[in-house]
Amino acid sequence: MTEAAKTQMYQIYIKKRLLRKSGRLLPRLNGIPATVTGVPCIFPRTGLSGAILMTGILGGAMASHLRAGSPLFSHTLFNVYLDGLMWAGLWLRDPGIRALLP
């Protein structure tokens, strides 16, 4: 086996190993932006901005599910369900939001 073939096989091995590691790491990293944008929803002063940011995060997740061809009602629209519950809770809590969205 030539030196170039050994180098190429080693590079393929490293790429496969990195893909396996990133396959376990990426789902954990995806929760960080959702948590960071979801925390402001808890506090009344930042609830509206947190809800807007969370809507953007959930919209991106829905676009990813649409592109991947995930089942519609269980995976793709789950983000819409969460978003609707979040906005309903914000609407019930904040009279300013009720004035904007009757």
Which tokens sit at 7?
Answer: 């180098």
Predicted local confidence at residue 24, as pLDDT: 61
Instruction: Report domain extents, the chain.
Output: 30-100
Does residue 84 carry a pLDDT above 60? yes
Mean pLDDT of 72-85: 90
Residue 57 · residue 33 · CB < 8 Å: yes
Query: Could you say which DSSP state residue 42 is in?
Result: T
Predicted local confidence at residue 64, as pLDDT: 84
Buried b (16+ CB within 10 A) or exposed e, 30-39: eeeeeeebbe
**pTM confidence score:** 0.67
Does residue 6 carry a pLDDT above 80? no
Predicted local confidence at residue 92, as pLDDT: 93
Instruction: List, for residues 19-78, the tens digit of each pLDDT value.
Output: 666 556 666 677 788 888 888 888 888 889 999 999 998 898 888 888 888 888 888 899
